[in-house]
Amino acid sequence: MAYVATRGGERAIEQSERFYRGDLGIITRERVDAMREGLPYLIDRLMGEASLYEPDLAALALAQAGGDLYEAVLLLRAYRTTQPRLAVAEPVTQPDLFTVRRISAAFKDIPGGQILGPTLDYSHRLLQVGVLNGQNYEPPAVEPAKEPAPATQPSLAAWQKAQGLIPDHPAQTVPPEDIPDVTREPLLFPTSRAHKLQSLARADTGGTLALGYSTMRGYGSVHPTVNELRLAEAPVRMRHPRGTIFSAGRVRISQTEVISKARELELGFAATFGWNEVKVIAAATLDLASNQPNPHPASNEEFVLYHTEPVEGSGFCIHFKLPHYVTFQSSLDALRRVKTDQQEAAIAKAKPETEMQPEEDEVLL
């Protein structure tokens, strides 16, 4: 049928996918391993946005998407959705975290100490161009401290609460199965604390930064100070049906508390899978700014949570490539009518003596 032949979309889509995949070449276990080993911060960012902690799968998604982050997040989210939720881990508090980096900008020193851990914060950002000429870049080895820092540290906010500096919000006791889960329930507003923190945890890093930065820069009444920032490994503890609590491993997490210097001290909080400092600082700032009495969109939780969702945002953005010719045709029809009306009106005005043309039949429905 000629009608079908001129369209012939199905073959074209198949070939265009082959084109893309052909450019990426053969995906091997070695390539996936190299990505996991060589790009840990990218893997972390991906696992956070996908809300799925599995470095091998994240590296595979990255390899399969050729490094297109949004595509990789979608792959992981689509995989995640097929997995059953078997259990809910025990809650972790700050003193439970095996902390490798913990700093506070609010005090010179804090109980437990400032622990720099791994960071590029104070490094000179110089490209090691020699590598391209065959000279390997081998960073100098770390010299261990005389006394290793303790594996766990107390919570700074606990000290501030004991001092009466910040209000203490008692923890709610909710059975694990009843903890709201934003991947299984709609996000409604005003949102629950759980949904808000979960949404921020899986938010797009870039989007979170853009909106968080806007509140830091002055579109908002928040002047944050980093109260405590941690990079840590969190123990994943499960409850056996017989009641025993056992460890099922550890996950890398980052978390930030920011504190306001406004009339009263208030905390903003964010945590996510993986080590991603920019995201948790920006997200904690957005949490602090959230629903402050000011008109800027970055202070509005609905605006923030809807527009930092990476899979929804990127999907909608690229959907504009889909054909829209029916909707366009519909608008075109309305515009043409207005033009026709104007032309007819102009003619009628020019020849007032001419009898008006009978209006064309309206389609009454």
Partner 1 sequence: MKINELTKPWSAFNYGFLDESAKREIRRRTLKAVAIPGYQVPYASRDVPIARGWGTGGLQVTLTLLKPDSVVKVIDQGADDSVNASSIRKFLAKVGGATETSDTTEATIIQSRHRIPEEKLREDQILVLQVPNPEPLRPVQPDMSIAREMHGDADYGQLWLILYEQLVRSGRIMQGSSYPSMVNGRHVMTPSPIPRWDVPKLNQADHLTILSAGREKRIFAVPPHTSVEPLVFDDVPYRVEDHQDKTCYRSGVEGFFMNELPQDDGSSLYELSDSHFGIKSIRKAEGEPVTLGETWYKNGRME
Distance of CA 117 to the CA centre of its chain: 24
Among 187, 194, 236, 278, binds partner 1 (CB under 8 A): 187
Closer residue to partner 1 in complex, CB, 2/162: 2
Q: Enumerate residues 116-175 that contact partner 1 by CB under 8 A.
A: none
CA atoms within 13 A of residue 298's CA, in its CB half-sphere: 23
Binding test (CB under 8 A) with partner 1, winner from 118, 134, 323, 352: 323
- And the tokens for 184? 């299984």
In whole angstroms, the minimum distance from the beta carbon of 182 to partner 1 comes to 8
Give the contact letters, 11-30, x = binds to partner 1 (CB under 8 A), - = no. Answer: -xx-----------------
Among 15, 28, 81, 135, binds partner 1 (CB under 8 A): 81
Identify the residue among 25, 84, 175, 358 touching partner 1 (CB under 8 A): 84
Neighbours of 180 (CB within 10 A): 15
Q: For the segment 188-207, give every residue that binds partner 1 (CB under 8 A).
A: 188-190
In sequence order, the 6+-apart residues with CB closer than 8 A to the CB of 264 are 167
Q: Which is nearer to partner 1, 142 or 364 (CB)?
A: 364
Contact residue for partner 1 among 77, 195, 230, 252 (CB under 8 A): 77
CA distance 202 to 37: 23
Among 31, 33, 40, 80, binds partner 1 (CB under 8 A): 80
Tokens of 331: 């608008």
Within 277-306, the residues that bind partner 1 by CB under 8 A are 300, 302
Q: With binding defined as CB under 8 A, does residue 8 bind partner 1?
A: yes
Of 125, 319, 349, 351, the one binding partner 1 (CB under 8 A) is 319
By the rule CB under 8 A, 2 interacts with partner 1: yes
Residue 196: name the closest of 330, 130, 288 by CA: 288
Among 113, 185, 218, 343, binds partner 1 (CB under 8 A): 185
Q: Given candidates 28, 135, 183, 343, which one binds partner 1 under the rule CB under 8 A?
A: 183
CA distance 148 to 145: 6
Q: Is residue 315 at the binding interface for partner 1, with CB under 8 A as the rule?
A: yes
Least Å distance, CB 129 to partner 1, is 38
> Which residues lie near partner 1 (CB under 8 A)?
1-4, 7-10, 12-13, 74-75, 77-78, 80-82, 84, 183-190, 300, 302, 311-312, 314-319, 322-327, 329-338, 341-342, 362-365
